[in-house]
A and B are shown apart, each in its own frame.
Chain A
Amino acid sequence: MSREPTASEQTTRQQPRRSVFAGLSWHEVRALLRGDPPTERPNPRYRAHTNSFFLHLRPRTYPAAATWITHTWFLGLLAVVLFVVEFVTGILLMIFYAPTPEQAYASVIAITYYVPFGALLRDLHRLAAEAMVIVVVLHMVRVFVTGSYKGPRAFTWLTGVFLLGVTLLLSFSGYLLPWDQLAYWAVTIGTSMAQATPLIGTELNLLLRGASEIGADGLLRFYLLHVLLLPLVGVLLLAVHYYRVARHHGISLPASVEEGEMPVAMRQSATRKIDFLPTIFLREVLVTAAALLALLAGAYFWFDAPLEQHADPLHTPLNTQAPWFFLWVQGLLKLGDKTLMGVMIPLISFILLAALPYWDRNPVRRWQRRPVAMTLGLLLAVSVGVLTYMGTASYGVVMSSAVAIVEQLAPEEGEGAFRRLPYAALTPGAYALDQPLPTDIAPELRDMLTTFAHLVEDASRAGDLNQGTAFVEIIERQANLKAVTLRIIWQPPDVDTLRTYTRTIYLHRDRNPEHAALRP
């Protein structure tokens, strides 16, 4: 004859399962997922927060208004999700990446074209890194606008600004690792700026580069910074940052709830407690899944992590440009003294930003009542925007017309019109573009040569390239490899001799990687 087991017998029988689910019974886990009320008294879900390491990191309850999406936009959560994505993809990439000048570029090529899912992983790593910079900055803007850095949250803001610094440094240190041209020169500029730091500059530069110029030592140092030191500092800072949010002061209430006058019922509803389990937890799972899906779709369909030509310490390419999140520094650098513009102003801005809650003593949180703070914030945003534009290669770096014309058609880095021509259309031959073109060449090549001739003619007419003439030579150097030479010859009015500007680019039949991957 059977009977219903007593409650204590049930507990004993479920002990092994309970130890897996942080003290929750299987019934309780199911009830939790269904959104049902707790199955036992006292609420076992609260006990789980004590039993489980991961749950103990999270508060048991949140005031409803603190979790409004229009208040937090999930930006802190998203930053953590992206950090974890960086961790996971980064560790996987480390399996195939080799941090030496001889092997780095080849290993990145191998990851991109030969390792299964390698291209996707690299795209994800790069995309998530750039998304992380955006999300962290937006998180900061949100906290600034909602006035949440004030009062007990001052130190949390300070750690947050340092986390922004770590995010930027992580992105920048990762920038060198593919060992391509833009990376090499962007980091040369970056470390040269470090040299401009008063007193410790020379030592700091030597410490980062490992030698007078970036080479094997520098690459290894940036690699170690990128995979060890900075992530470690990031995790520690994140721990301090989150501990304060979770245990010290919680997520701020919206200023309208905290400061505004509202009916009692409405305030009660805004400040009522919402349990982490299951409401907030499931919401976070949903947001995380959506973010991962968006990231995957972005990396798969649209985003290709860039890779320029192999680093050449003996040649700085035209249009050398900092990564987009540091263009504002490059803009500053074009304005003058590198110690002042490259080190002092960014450093002072950083200190002012980190110390914001300590000098902004206005206790009011609502943005409508903080005209000075809002104006300053807007001013900062606008200056960063303008400086970013000034940092692009199109500002302040003058190219003479011969270089500009060739750069437009066959740039040193990147694709350009000539490289987009089908390989078969590149009929070998020497073409003087002031003469009628042969009739038997492909229409794509004809169009390209006509464009080139027109550009030089226009410059010649404008007086830039006196009697300028364009020439193109296409030579089949070896099987499946053609050399295309663009040449502009002109006669400067004040000199006897002719002047020449020449650039040769090499095009392989398999240059288009999608085709290359298909070949056996």
Chain B
Amino acid sequence: MRKTEISHPLQGIDRREILAWIWLLAATAAATKATQLTYGFVRASRAARQPTSFNAGTVADLPSPGDAPRAFPDGRFWLTQTQEGVAALDGVCTHLDCLLGWDEQAHEFACPCHGSRFDASGRYLTGPAPRSMDRFAVKIVNPEGAVVASTDFAAGVQAAPLAGADVDSSASLHIIVDITLEATGAPVA
């Protein structure tokens, strides 16, 4: 078999080749930097949704435990009362960001897009969602502005406990929901 003949075997590397490689390298670096700058330009740097905190009414307006949660469409959350206290459930489905609806008949949250379902306290029931509903931070303040109860996600307190609150003054206790602080729901086992 005949080998292909190389008429000019490359021996070593000369000045021109080194310079050409340096040019190419510099051009690549410049292009990389330009891409990075473009990305920084195009990438959104918007802050979170406005407003970031909602006055969700008073403790007296709360749905009783076992009742249908109350919707706050502007803040995309639902207020519910469980045995543990007041919780603000993020109304965005944990699957693909559709907004959950409340199914009055089954007494469950239902996702209109892919059919995930959650119970009234936001616990995962069925469907493709990867975890239970997320929760926003809740604090309950008295007329003087002092916090009488609140969630504490770091300590695992996911609902603002009402046990210590003065029931008679419940109409003056306001519920404040902060949508910048969020605890992700328990993953589906």
Write the B38-73 contact mask toward A (1 if CB under 8 angstroms, else 0). 010011101011000000000000000000000001
Residue of A nearest to B49 (CB): A212
**Contact status A192-B101, CB under 8 Å:** no
Residues of B within 8 Å of A217, CB to CB, are 44, 46
Residues of A within 8 Å of B127, CB to CB, are 334, 396
Tell me if A403 is interfacial: C-beta within 8 Å of chain B: yes
Q: How far is the CB of A187 from chain B (nearest CB, A)?
A: 10
Residues of B within 8 Å of A341, CB to CB, are 128
Cα A500 to Cα B96 with chains together (Å): 29
Tell me if A333 is interfacial: C-beta within 8 Å of chain B: yes
The listed residue (B42, B96, B105) touching A192 by CB distance below 8 A is B96
Residue of A nearest to B46 (CB): A211
The listed residue (B44, B46, B113) touching A316 by CB distance below 8 A is B113
Tell me if B74 is interfacial: C-beta within 8 Å of chain A: yes
The listed residue (A315, A335, A337) touching B99 by CB distance below 8 A is A315
Q: B103-158: which have CB < 8 Å to A?
A: 103-106, 110-115, 117, 127-128, 130
**Contact status A333-B101, CB under 8 Å:** no
Write the A461-490 contact mask toward B (1 if CB under 8 angstroms, else 0). 000110000000000000000000000001
**Contact status B96-A213, CB under 8 Å:** no
Write the B68-112 contact mask toward A (1 if CB under 8 angstroms, else 0). 000001101000000000000000000111111101111000111
Residues of A within 8 Å of B74, CB to CB, are 314
Tell me if A115 is interfacial: C-beta within 8 Å of chain B: no
Residues of A within 8 Å of B44, CB to CB, are 206-207, 209-211, 217
Among the stretches A83-91, A278-286, A317-325, A358-366, the one at the interface with B is A317-325
- Given A188-B97, A320-B113, A335-B128, CB of A401 within 8 Å of CB of B48: no
**Contact status B48-A212, CB under 8 Å:** yes
Residue of B nearest to A317 (CB): B112
Residue of A nearest to B126 (CB): A398
Write the A385-425 contact mask toward B (1 if CB under 8 angstroms, else 0). 00000000000111111110000000000000000000000
**Contact status A318-B101, CB under 8 Å:** yes
The listed residue (A189, A211, A398, A492) touching B113 by CB distance below 8 A is A189
**Contact status A398-B110, CB under 8 Å:** yes
Q: How far is the CB of B32 from chain A (nearest CB, A)?
A: 17
The listed residue (B106, B112, B117) touching A319 by CB distance below 8 A is B112
Q: Tell me the dominant secondary structure on chain B's binding face.
A: loop
Cα A479 to Cα B111 with chains together (Å): 37
**Contact status B43-A189, CB under 8 Å:** no
Tell me if A454 is interfacial: C-beta within 8 Å of chain B: no
Q: How far is the CB of A114 from chain B (nearest CB, A)?
A: 32
Residues of A within 8 Å of B49, CB to CB, are 212-213
**Contact status B128-A333, CB under 8 Å:** yes
A contact residues, total (Cβ < 8 Å): 45
Tell me if A338 is interfacial: C-beta within 8 Å of chain B: yes
In this complex, the member of B46, B48, B49, B96 whose beta carbon has the largest number of chain A beta carbons within 10 angstroms is B96
**Contact status B96-A400, CB under 8 Å:** no
Tell me if A336 is interfacial: C-beta within 8 Å of chain B: yes
Tell me if A330 is interfacial: C-beta within 8 Å of chain B: yes
Tell me if A501 is interfacial: C-beta within 8 Å of chain B: yes
**Contact status B97-A189, CB under 8 Å:** yes
- Given A210-B46, A320-B98, A402-B104, CB of A315 within 8 Å of CB of B73: yes
The listed residue (B42, B103, B117, B128) touching A403 by CB distance below 8 A is B103
Cα A465 to Cα B103 with chains together (Å): 13
Residues of B within 8 Å of A207, CB to CB, are 39, 42-44
Cα A203 to Cα B44 with chains together (Å): 9
Query: Interface on A for B, CB 8 Å cutoff?
Result: 185, 188-189, 192-193, 203, 206-207, 209-213, 217, 314-320, 330, 333-338, 341-342, 396-403, 464-465, 490, 492, 499-501
**Further pairs besides A337-B128, A341-B128: 19, Cβ < 8 Å:** A188-B96, A189-B96, A189-B97, A206-B44, A207-B39, A211-B46, A212-B46, A212-B48, A314-B76, A320-B98, A330-B114, A333-B128, A335-B128, A338-B128, A342-B96, A396-B115, A400-B110, A401-B105, A499-B104
Closest 3 CB pairs of A and B: A400-B105, A397-B115, A192-B97
27 contacts between A and B (CB under 8 A): A189-B113, A207-B39, A212-B46, A212-B48, A217-B44, A315-B73, A316-B112, A318-B112, A320-B98, A330-B114, A333-B96, A335-B128, A337-B130, A338-B95, A338-B96, A338-B130, A396-B115, A396-B127, A397-B112, A397-B114, A398-B115, A400-B103, A400-B106, A402-B105, A464-B105, A501-B104, A501-B105
